[in-house]
Structure 1
C-alpha cells in the first residue's frame, strides 16, 4: 500500500482550479459537448417522432422505380452525423483543448 502524503497533490489541484485557463477550458469544453449532444439528440428524437407519428413519410420510395424508402438514407445520415460529430469533438479535444491543458499543466508545475 502506498502511503504518500496527499497534501502536495491537494495543492496542485487547488492551483489548477484557481487557474483562469482551467475555467476557460471547462467552459469551452462544456459548451461544445452540450451543443454536439443537442444536435445528436434532436436528430435521433426527431427521427423517432417521425417514425412514431408520420411513418408514411419514411415509407415512401426514393423514386418510382426504387425499392429503397426515404427512411433508409435519413437513418443512415443520422448515424453518419454522429460519427462526424465525434470527429469534430476529437478535433477540438486534440487541438485547442489539449493546448489549453498543456498550458495549465506547465503553469501548475512551475
Structure 2
C-alpha cells in the first residue's frame, strides 16, 4: 500500500466516522470509570468514618459494598462497550473496511 492509498483511507468519511465513534465511546466510558474510582479514593482519604460505618451494627461496613460495586461497574462498562461495539460499531467497521479494500485494490488497476 502506497502513501496515496493510506491518505485516501485516512480521508475516507466512513473510516473517520468509525474512528470518531470508537474514540468518543471509549473516552466516555473511561471518564465514568475514572470519576467513580477517584471519587472512591477521595472518600477513602477524606471521609474514612463514613466508609467505616456499619449498615446494621455488624461487621459489614459501607465501604465494602462500595468497593465491590466499583469492581462490578468495571465489568458492566466492559459489557456496555461490547454491546455497543457489536451493535453499532462493527457494521460501521465492516463498511469502512470494504471501502479500504476497494482503495487497496485500486493499485492493481493503475
- Give the TM interval when normalised to the shorter protein: 0.7 to 0.9
Higher helix share: 2
Could you say what secondary structure the match of 1:95 adopts?
helix
Which of 1 and 2 has higher RCO (CA within 8 Å, sep 6+)?
2
Distance of 1:26 and 1:82 partners within structure 2: 23
Q: Which 5+ residue runs of structure 1 have no aligned equivalent?
A: 1-7
After superposition, the C-alpha distances for 1:30-62 in whole angstroms (9 at most, x for unaligned) are 111111111101111100001001000000001
Could you say what secondary structure the match of 1:72 adopts?
helix
Number of the residue aligned with 1:3: none
RMSD over aligned CA atoms reads: 1.4
Q: Which 5+ residue runs of structure 2 have no aligned equivalent?
A: 103-110
Q: Which of residues 40, 61, 69 is equivalent to 1:77? A: 69
**TM superposition score normalised by structure 1:** 0.84
Q: Which of residues 75, 80, 83 is equivalent to 1:91? A: 83
